[in-house]
Amino acid sequence: MDPILLGAAGFLVVLVLLALRVPIAFALAGMATICTLIFFATKSGDFDLVRAFRPTTTLLFSNTFELIHSYNLSMVPLFIALGHVAYRAGITTDIYHAARIWLARVPGGVAMASVIGCGGFSAITGSSVACASAMGRICVPEMLRFKYDPRLATSSVAAGGTLGSLIPPSVLFIIYGIFTETSINKLFLAGVIPGLLSLAGFVLVIYIWVKRDPSAGPTPDESEVSGGQRSSAALKAWPALLLFVIVIGGIYGGIFTATEAAAISLSITLLVSVLQRRLSFADFKTAMWETVTQTSAIFFIAASAKMFVAFIALTGIAPTLVASVEAAQLAPWLVLAAIVAIYLVMGMFLDPLGIMVLTLPFMVPLVEGMGLDIIWFGVVVVKLLEIGLITPPVGLNVFVISSVVGSQVALEKIFAGILRFLAMDVIVLALLVAFPVLSLLLPNSMWQ
């Protein structure tokens, strides 16, 4: 069977399986195994499954074991554990409470504090959905209590939750770095400015919204706070700020790697939580169990994706795609626009991690063939996946917030509110594409 045809058929069948709600790990591993068997069984002209069994298992399992033994992959459970421990100890919400007090007199201040709190949560956990779920339970009820417009109260947290994809540490950056053999240190640094730019953009959306409609974000009656309260709130938030400084400052200064930063940050978080008596043994056990379950799911998807990547490499479909694009003599901006459109459409329906592992075998060779920077492309991809988390009709973060508020706010209202933040995301994306220096400034100037 023609390898190119087999590769294309395998990819299309995976998309169909995903549309039928088959878990992506099973879809990728299953199709990789079946298609690789067919490839080797028909290689000599006849059809011999027995002969194909050994090379198939050797190829797929060797690639899987290579991934699981990757040193960089060890940072995934470390950062996930860091996020769960910090959340259970209340460290992740300290930035929100500090921002809530400092912005008490600002119209829309609670919504702004929610977005800033999401940024702080993201800087520790690296998970968008976890951020939206955790912060939604804290921030949305408070905004509704203060008579905020339900659209603003819910959509601000749904949008703020997406910052977990871009602000390091980000699980998506880790997986991208492993699958593209790119420096994760540089990817983390590349996400800092775009992440802060997205955060500032969301705050600007809230400011304009409340400026045009003051009733959407009224100032709470109990908004008078003293200087002592402000100082106390700022001091309480120091562990969360310290963790961000350790991860980014340590990597930028060349003091340690991203994996070492994860281990050091987790150790400091455990130490601070115990010394301040903020983490019970029951909370610690819960955090560890959540870490194990979440890490297992990510590892399963990554291992299955590695099998699928091995099959795609076997077919030679990626080099053929690159050669076809080069032969067509398409302008790089046109190819890039097509890539952006593909990610935006897929982001409406599929999980971000699934989209990444499914598309990278095709997109990365294409981007490298055009001479584009692979670090910059990683930031663009993660930003596109971030946009997908709040894009109708699926918008995973929107459904997470909807599950938090229940019948208090209709799903249609959340989607109506999210459109303003979605427009800002598109503006930030355009800036990242037009000005690669926004992504490359820090990684290019880091201490080697």
Residues 319-344 pLDDT 10s: 888 888 888 888 888 888 999 999 98
Return the residue matching tokens 């819960």: 286
Highest mean pLDDT out of 133-147, 163-177, 420-434: 420-434
Give mean pLDDT, residues 312-320: 86
Picking from 65, 131, 71, the residue whose alpha carbon sits closest to that of residue 258 is 71
- Which residues neighbour 403 within 8 Å (Cβ) at sequence distance 6 or greater? none
* Contact between residue 242 and residue 95 where contact means Cβ atoms under 8 Å apart: no
Judged against a pLDDT cut of 70, whether residue 208 lies above it is answered with yes
Q: Strands, DSSP E only, in 221-328? A: none
Structure pTM?
0.89
In this prediction, residue 426 carries a pLDDT of: 94
Query: CB neighbours (10 Å) of residue 396?
Result: 21
User: Is the Cβ–Cβ distance between 378 and 122 less than 8 Å?
Assistant: no
Supply the pLDDT for residue 224: 62
Q: Tell me, what's the pLDDT at 445? A: 84
Is 80 exceeded by the pLDDT of residue 220? no
Work out the percent of the chain whose per-residue pLDDT is above 70: 97
Looking at per-residue confidence, does 331 or 376 come out higher?
A: 376
Q: What pLDDT does 326 receive? A: 80
pLDDT at 221: 60
What are the domain boundaries of the chain? Answer: 72-298+437-445
379 vs 433: CA distance, rounded Å: 10
Query: Is the predicted pLDDT of residue 288 greater than 90, yes or no?
Result: yes
pLDDT band with cut points at 50, 70 and 90 for residue 223: low
Length of the chain, in residues: 448
Q: Are 49 and 41 in contact (CB under 8 A)?
A: yes
pLDDT over threshold 80, residue 96: yes
Per-residue pLDDT of 415-442, as tens digits, reads 999 999 999 999 999 999 999 999 999 9
CA-wise closest residue to 218 among 104, 114, 138, 140: 104
pLDDT band at 211 (very low <50, low <70, confident <90, very high): very high
Sequence-ordered list of residues with C-beta below 8 angstroms from that of 413, at least 6 positions apart, any chain: 150, 151, 154
pLDDT in tens, 35-54: 999 988 887 767 777 778 88
Angle at 292 between CA 289 and CA 293, to 5 degrees: 90
* Residue tagged 């769960």 (tokens): 84
Model pLDDT, residue 448: 58
Q: Which amino acid is at 388?
A: G
